[in-house]
Amino acid sequence: MNIIITGGAGFLGAKLSESLLLQFSEINSIKLVDRVQPSINLAANDKVQFITADITKSEEIAQIITEQTTHIFHLAAIVSSHAEEDFELGMLVNLKATELLLERCRHVNPKIRFIFSSSLAVFGGELPEKIDYMTAMQPSSSYGTQKAICELLVNDYARKGFVDALSVRLPTICIRPGSPNKAASSFVSSIIREPLKHEQSNCPVDIDLALWISSPNNVIKNIIHASQLNTSSLKGFRTINLPGLQTSPREMIACLIKKNGKPASELISYEKDINIESIVASWPKSMNNERELELGFSKDNNFTVILKEFLNTTN
């Protein structure tokens, strides 16, 4: 296995690398591709190579993807609120880079398994109470629109046999370690992570807003499963709604109080941000994942387990 991970300097890229190395002894190389050097503890592993590159430039992509490449995990993206603020940058990184990567695979090795990291943001408008894999995309943000276009490209390249590609729609990942980013959903982790560090945090949405989330460990497990999936079992559109669970800020904060006491919750403020709420509220609140579970994907049990998992990694 010769693997490429775009966005390799990010949290998910690093965690994916570690999990792949633990799971597959047949890995020959992992190329972590990003515009900055990752600060992760994989430098001592001679199978891992850090590559600083701009994947919006075809000549730089040509130096990375070769005939020996077997798997590409395309995680690199300009996140939701950032893509909404800077339309041109979002189109460049989220759309053009994906098209260039797919085109390079087409000409170099159509057998490459290409996993595109998509998002709940492809949905919007008047959604049913519970969506499934046939629910139409109707994004309410530039980020969601860019991801939706990429899903269509991925599906068409796979349909025509140009590359063995599929898309995975990630739930909101919670609880992410590290610092807040420009994602509209960043608060979902911050309202738990920061109080646990005795730092202030803000919940910018209605406390009872339904959220569709998954733990980092389960998302990584499901991304890897997608990379090994027999795609002949997929009928029609090559997009997977990764399983998640429904929660709300109120439920999450209640779990925090139960685990760490009320003082932690007193560090959370509730100043609404209409822009953030309008984006997050347009996303699905629940999904029918029967198809995905039958395909071997997994889901988290409840938020209490997710919180315990996070505390075990930080203590």
Give the residue numbers marked as catalytic.
143
Q: Does residue 311 sit in helix, strand or coil?
A: helix
**CA–CA separation, 264 and 50 (whole Å):** 38
Answer for the pair 229, 295: CB distance below 8 angstroms, yes or no: yes
Phi-psi group of 178: left, alpha or beta (phi > 0 → left; psi -120 to 50 → alpha; rest → beta):
left
Residue among 174, 3, 173 at smallest CA distance from 77: 173
Type of residue found at 4: I
**CA–CA separation, 120 and 144 (whole Å):** 8
**CA–CA separation, 137 and 7 (whole Å):** 25
Could you tell me where the DSSP H helices lie in the chain? Answer: 11-23, 58-62, 80-85, 87-90, 97-108, 142-159, 186-196, 216-228, 249-260, 262-265, 274-280, 290-294, 303-314
